[in-house]
């Protein structure tokens, strides 16, 4: 999650993004089960895909460059 949050600093999040990022980094989420976390991550990724395609592309190339896909929470 730290890796992905860092990447997202480079774009201008809309209100929905901010809500989901807050949700993802909330204390509640820290204690949530894997399934719940995966759901919220998937929701966020879907939103990014439809609304911020350039971010997804940037993240993809970053992941590829750094070979860090196992650490990339959105794909868990
Ligand atoms: Zn957004």
Q: What is the pLDDT of residue 7?
A: 54
* CA dist., res. 71 & res. 74, Å (int): 9
Q: Are the C-beta atoms of 17 and 65 separated by less than 8 Å?
A: no
Q: What is the pLDDT of residue 68?
A: 52
| Ligand 1 centre distance from Cα of residue 55 (Å) | 10
| Ligand 1 centre distance from Cα of residue 65 (Å) | 24
Q: What is the pLDDT of residue 1?
A: 45
Q: What is the pLDDT of residue 67?
A: 64
| Ligand 1 centre distance from Cα of residue 66 (Å) | 25
Residues 32-63 as b or e (16 or more Cβ within 10 Å = b): beeeebeebbeebbeebeeebeebeeebeebb
Measured from the Cβ of residue 20, the count of other Cβ atoms closer than 10 Å reads 19
The model's pTM: 0.64
Q: What is the pLDDT of residue 26?
A: 92
Q: What is the pLDDT of residue 74?
A: 57
Q: What is the pLDDT of residue 56?
A: 82
| Ligand 1 centre distance from Cα of residue 11 (Å) | 10
Low-confidence ranges of the chain (pLDDT < 50): 1-2, 76
């Amino acid at each position: 999650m730290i890796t992905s949050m860092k990447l997202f600093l480079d774009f201008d999040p809309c209100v929905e993004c901010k809500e989901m990022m807050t949700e993802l980094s909330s204390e509640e989420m820290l204690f949530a089960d894997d399934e719940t976390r995966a759901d919220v991550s998937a929701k966020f990724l879907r939103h990014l895909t439809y609304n911020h395609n350039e971010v997804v592309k940037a993240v993809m190339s970053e992941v590829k460059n750094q070979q860090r896909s196992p650490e990339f929470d959105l794909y868990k």
